[in-house]
Structure 1
Amino acid sequence: MITISKAFGQDPVEFNDETAADRVGARIRTIRNARGLSLAELGEKVGLNADRMQKYENGARKPKTDMLKKIAEALGVSTLALADPVTTSYIGAMYAMFELEHNFNMKIEPTDENHVPGLCLTVDFKDSLYEYMKDWYDVYAQMKSDLEVANSEEEKAEIINAYHNWEWTYPQGIVDKTEKSLEKARLKRKIAELQERYDQLDQNDSDIE
């Protein structure tokens, strides 16, 4: 089932801001351990004590950009490997996809659709991200199908705008769809209950006759 509630009841942007230090710290800790460095050794390389480094790794403090650069240099990695990815460049987009690989088990696969070589990102149906992507695909496929039968440029523009609005208000579209499905299921159960009650009354009438 797709999770549609806000994280801990918070606005997603606020939650993202409040947990940014945790994510940066987790990346520092992962790479430091992979490099075989202790907190004290990494701290010495950047001019900090082990206590300050531990606060960074635990998310109690978030290193400023200059310090993040020093830590990245000491670890022998790009600063982008420690920061939250920003997809305003090809390199930033690549780091965003690396995050999807590590956090959601997304894989990169070759494709040869219509004899045109390419690459695609895939996620196993057992992974939680699959349901989110499947919902996105369904909306995207419907948009493409609607465009094929559109009778005018104006109608095409409306279809594209509706698709973008689904993206811009995400996950509200899922919320609406889920609420509608729940209401339909509730009504279906109610109809079944009424039908059962009707059949019972009808049977009672037959017995009386």
Structure 2
Amino acid sequence: MSDALNYLVQVRGDALGHYFKFLKDAGKHLDPKTRNLISVITKVHSQTEAGFKQYLMRALREGCTPMEVIDALMMAFPALGLAKVVWATEIILKMDIPEFSPELIAAEPQWRDVMAADDIADGEVLRVESATRTVFVYREGDSYRVYDSHCPHQVTNIPHLALEGMTLTCPKHQWKFDIRTGDCIAKGKHPMKAFETRVADGRLLAWW
């Protein structure tokens, strides 16, 4: 929340509490995806960039696909108008979320080549550029873990320099992750996005 909203909650929480309860109750018969898409649209209507990013990430975490987000924007076009739809789309493009790329947004998930399995040593972590996204790869014996390099908080693309030992720290808000498990161990609560892996013909593949 903004400082102003925090202030109003502090001095008139008795009044605002009724408003927040209304908002919560108003959507209780909607499924989570629909409720989140409506929240995204309201932030586009008010052109609140921070709120739009927050609810966009929440919608994606709770199962909305990028194409559903784009469809929601297009369906709301008569109410929003072209300028606001373009405003929201420009923010999405600046966020650089891989799933919104033209190569992935309409593609079916599939096994994608990441690297030669032997190019990473046991206990090593590498940041690898694939054809459609950047990932962190961790190897433990014959087991491989592959994570999206984007922080689950606000999709900051985390650089390799952010890795210290087995701890990866997002430079934007200092969320920390254990690269061995992908778990968030400080600041935040959402884990890194992990992909299913397999090795075939000496190549490490990941499913996305």
Q: Which structure is richer in relative contact order (CA contacts within 8 A, separation 6 or more)? A: 2
TM-based fold match above 0.5: no
Which is strand-richer, 1 or 2?
A: 2
Task: Give TM-score scaled by structure 2 length.
Answer: 0.28
Of Structure 1 and Structure 2, the greater helix share is in: 1
